[in-house]
Amino acid sequence: MKKLKEVLYVIERDVRMFLNHKILLFMRALWFIAQISLFGLIASRMVIIPNYFEYYAAGITVTILYSTAVFIGYDIYEEAEHGIVEYLLSLPISRRKLAVGRSIGGGLRSFIYVAPLMGIVLALIGVRNPLNFMLAFFSLFLFAFGVAGMSITIAMGIKSADKFDILMGALDALIVRLSTVMYPKVFMAQANLMYSELANINPLTFASELFRWGAGIEQYLTFGPLLSVLVIVLFFSLFTLIGIIFYERRLEGGGWQ
Amino acid sequence: MTAIPYIIERDFKRFFRYKWWIAGMISMNLADLFIMALVYTKMVKFSYFEFFAPGITVTALFAAAFMIGREVNWEVRRDYYHYLLSLPVKHWELALGRVLSGALRGMVYMLPLLLIDFTFLGLPHPLQVLIIFLMLFLLSLGVSGLSITIAVSTDSFERFAVMRGLTYYLLFFCSTVFYPLDLIKDISAQGIIPPFLAVLAEINPLSCGADLIRSFLLEKPSFNIRLIISIIAFSLPIAVISSLAYTKILRRRK
């Protein structure tokens, strides 16, 4: 029980830290609203795809879940830069619990933030099968943890601030565009076969497909829900594990410096 | 000789210190153009790549020129201008230098994307190239001025960030950067979006910049003198207002 409590403290701290970024969160929400109410509405009249608005709104929800789960990497990087890691290590919490707490906290806080926005999107597009949606919702939960683990891994693996920022910027630009978040895979293949091949191994593709399946937007699904769930579970397990191990090891003997 | 070139040089050096921002923006712009626009081309009934290329050029110019406001607001909040006032530089030189350096940052960052436009959409007549450069510089001047005006209007970072974000998203999404004006007007006429958004999209300087390039490179929309008038009407007054506002901040006594 005591062990769990210590992990909970770490999670609570990460959630509180996240909520302190009020302006950043407000701007993200504003971006989300502009994407849906302006770009989504207008683009849906421009493209030949029927019900594109629903398709796009679901994709943007997954994008914002990804981009907020990535924040934990920036937080950890800043802590290393500003000497806060030393303070964290002085606390009566083991390194492992610290690592586990960070990984869970990173995913949980993004989910807490995105849940109301997801609610708005679902109110607009509707849910046809609540049971499917519950499964998709749970998988997205795991997806957020996986992204947090991936972000922690990158943050702890790169020691140069410039390299970290550049890599995260490039990754953010490519991972969203090379997925089915904004467009169905069939059109990606028509534009360039390589794009659709890369989308096949992109976790955002599986997360957005699952969300659409859960909401009943099944027109352009390319993978079955079972495969998508399996990929998300694999992504979550792999990166959460790597993130925890990497974070714990880096904390050992000043490896973050 | 005036001190303006030194101010511009200083601001340029600072601009290239934001490596993460530049790298992120370059990746984003290229990914938007060579991935997103190419895929959308398959989803619409016209070449979205050709339509979007001038749009992303103007977007890049806007983002780079708008960046100066962040630094100016930081200087206002930290009273850094006391140091600037200690320099042997006249107030008007400092104000004009800041607005100009913001504009030149926009031009330098935008240039590779404009060259991509010329490479893929064709090279226009030399006179048209000249008009494009002149108008984009004026647009950049206006955006830099707008950014500085917002930056000096408040001491609060929170208020500045919100005002900056609202301006950014409004100008960005209510423009013809991503979609044609006819489409926006149609949607507005159907009551899907409020009519004022269609008006804003039409007079938006970003729309005018993008449509000006399109009119010369794609001949669609056709060239209209309104595009040039709109850019001048936006940029020159805002450049003057921002210089005056910046000078006022320099002279304030706390």
Nearest to A34 among B41, B158, B173 (CB): B173
Give the whole-angstrom CA distance, residue B148 versus residue B126. 33
Lowest-pLDDT choice from A82-91, A219-228, B47-56, B166-175: A82-91
Nearest CA in chain B to A23: B158
- Which helix (H) or strand (E) segment is A91 a member of? none
Dump pLDDT digits (tens) for A168-187. 878 888 999 999 999 999 99
Instruction: Please list, in sequence order, all residues whose beta carbon lies within 8 angstroms of the beta carbon of residue B219, skipping any fewer than 6 positions away.
Output: none
Dump pLDDT digits (tens) for A118-132. 999 999 888 888 898
Asked if B38's CB is within 8 angstroms of A192's CB, the reply is yes
Q: Is the pLDDT of residue A253 over 70?
A: no
Task: Please write down the HEC assignment for all residues of A124-176.
Answer: HHCCCCHHHHHHHHHHHHHHHHHHHHHHHHHHHHCCCHHHHHHHHHHHHHHHH
What is the predicted pLDDT for the residue at B40?
96
Nearest to A182 among B36, B38, B157 (CB): B36
**Residue carrying structure tokens 């998203």:** B169
Question: What mean pLDDT is predicted for residues B128-139?
Answer: 97
Nearest to B161 among A23, A48, A195 (CB): A23
Which band of pLDDT confidence, cut at 50, 70 and 90, is reported for residue A251? confident
Q: Which residue has the higher pLDDT, A157 or A13?
A: A13
What is the predicted pLDDT for the residue at B36?
96
Asked if A178's CB is within 8 angstroms of B27's CB, the reply is no
Asked if B157's CB is within 8 angstroms of A23's CB, the reply is yes
Q: DSSP letter string over B57-115? A: HHHHHHHHHHTHHHHHHHHHHTTTHHHHHHSS--HHHHHHHHHHHHHHHHHHHHHHHHH
H helix count then E strand count, chain B: 13, 0
Q: Among residues of chain B, what percentage have pLDDT more than 90? A: 68
Q: Is the pLDDT of residue B254 over 80?
A: no
Task: Tell me if chain A has a CB within 8 Å of the CB of B194.
Answer: no
Dump pLDDT digits (tens) for B212-236. 999 999 998 999 999 999 999 999 9
Instruction: Please list, in sequence order, all residues whose beta carbon lies within 8 angstroms of the beta carbon of residue B86, skipping any fewer than 6 positions away.
Output: none
Nearest CA in chain B to A190: B42
What is the predicted pLDDT for the residue at A24?
84
Give the whole-angstrom CA distance, residue A77 versus residue A98. 15
Q: pTM (2 decimals)?
A: 0.89
Min Cα–Cα distance to chain B from A175, Å: 10
Min Cα–Cα distance to chain A from B43, Å: 5
Q: Is the N-terminal amide bond of B221 cis, ω within 30° of 0? A: yes
Q: Is the pLDDT of residue B109 over 70?
A: yes
Nearest to A191 among B23, B41, B172 (CB): B41
Predicted ipTM of the assembly: 0.87
What is the predicted pLDDT for the residue at A53?
94
Asked if A22's CB is within 8 angstroms of B23's CB, the reply is no
What is the predicted pLDDT for the residue at B157?
81
- The domain locations on chain A are 2-254
The average confidence (pLDDT) of chain A is: 88
Q: Is the pLDDT of residue A207 over 90?
A: yes
Give the whole-angstrom CA distance, residue B4 versus residue B42. 48
Structure letter (DSSP) for residue B3: S
